[in-house]
Amino acid sequence: MFSRFKFIAARVYLGFALLLVIAPMVTSLTGMSFYLDLLTRVLILAMAALSLNLIVGFGGMVSLGHAAFIGIGAYCVGIPAYYGVHNGFVHLGLALVCSAVFALITGAICLRTRGLYFIMITLAFAQMLYFTFVSLDEYGADDGLVIHQRSEFSGLLNMENSITLYYTVLAVLLIFFGLLHRLIHARYGRVIIGSKHNEQRMQALGYNTYKYKLVCYVISGSMAGVAGFFLGNFTNYISPEMMDWTHSSELLFMIVIGGTGGLFSPIVGAAVFLLLEEFLSGITVYWHLIFGLLLIALVLFGKGGLHGLLLRWQDARRAKTMHGVSR
């Protein structure tokens, strides 16, 4: 009787995904290529937000240093390109390995702390990396480095084509979404979620929660490194500013907007964040004030973000229908 309400949230997210699939065709027909670039940026940052939500929303590990992994991925494109190496497989491999190694080393230290201390130590590591790249004059230091040619994949993908780049990013994003869906619903994911709510109980059951969380942190960092790989190719420019803590806080805002309760919600949150930013900045120079007030209102009155609002609306529809049937 209530099947048409049971999957309302899933249908909304599916509709949103379909819009992303047809977006290049719409922008091509309307001649608004600018919006394709904007949506490509949305997908890249959605990938980073999805990776951060793995440790924040499901693992309870709030990080203010996640932008460091994005910067690592971007520099794994820029530095080889600086020396004339444009092989995309090399760039992507370096992005995965370097971000994973950095996550393993820093995570092994950070995960020995909790709460505020974990937040501050992730921030400290990210800022250390930021100032390290600021001091590298060979690669532009604070001015950054221009990437004159995007990654090449032996003729398999033409990353110079904006539509090809868009669909490549979208495909990888959906692959990551599928992998995380399997991961969270497996026993491993249940241990991670259980550690978030009661770590001592999970340890009493015989699970080494430290190792589980460290693996989770490495997976999250590697995914963010891939997002950085795409961001470097998309912008054709890299700089230490990509690693600044303010970008980590923006990723957290995307998660808050979308809601930590769903896997797909960070993607929606990234889209709302960037599209709203673009819309408000075109209206007034004081858009930061309006944007901040909207975020405050969402935090105060929209518990669980957009995902939570959608679920509450779904429950209200179901309750209204039940009341009508009982009458």
Span 64-92, pLDDT tens digits: 999 999 999 999 999 999 999 999 999 99
pTM: 0.89
Asked if 303 and 280 touch (Cβ cutoff 8 Å), the reply is no
What digits encode the pLDDT tens for the residues 154-180? 878 888 889 999 999 999 999 999 999
* 29, two tokens: 């027909």
Per-residue pLDDT, 284: 84
Mean pLDDT, range 107-114, rounded to an integer: 93
The band of 3, judged by pLDDT with boundaries at 50, 70 and 90, is: very low
Q: Which amino acid is at 225?
A: G
Per-residue pLDDT, 180: 93
* 201, two tokens: 């109980």
Go through 173-209 and write b for each residue having 16 or more CB atoms within 10 A of its CB, e for each that does not. beebbeebeebbeeeebebbebbbeebeebeeeebeb
Tell me whether residue 287 is exposed, middle or buried, using C-beta atoms within 10 angstroms of its C-beta: 0 to 12, 13 to 18, 19 or more. middle
Per-residue pLDDT, 154: 83
* 325, two tokens: 């049937």
Structural domains of the chain sorted by starting position, each given as residue range(s) with its CATH number in brackets: 3-326 (1.10.3470)
What digits encode the pLDDT tens for the residues 237-249? 999 999 988 899 9
Is the pLDDT reported for residue 5 higher than 70? no
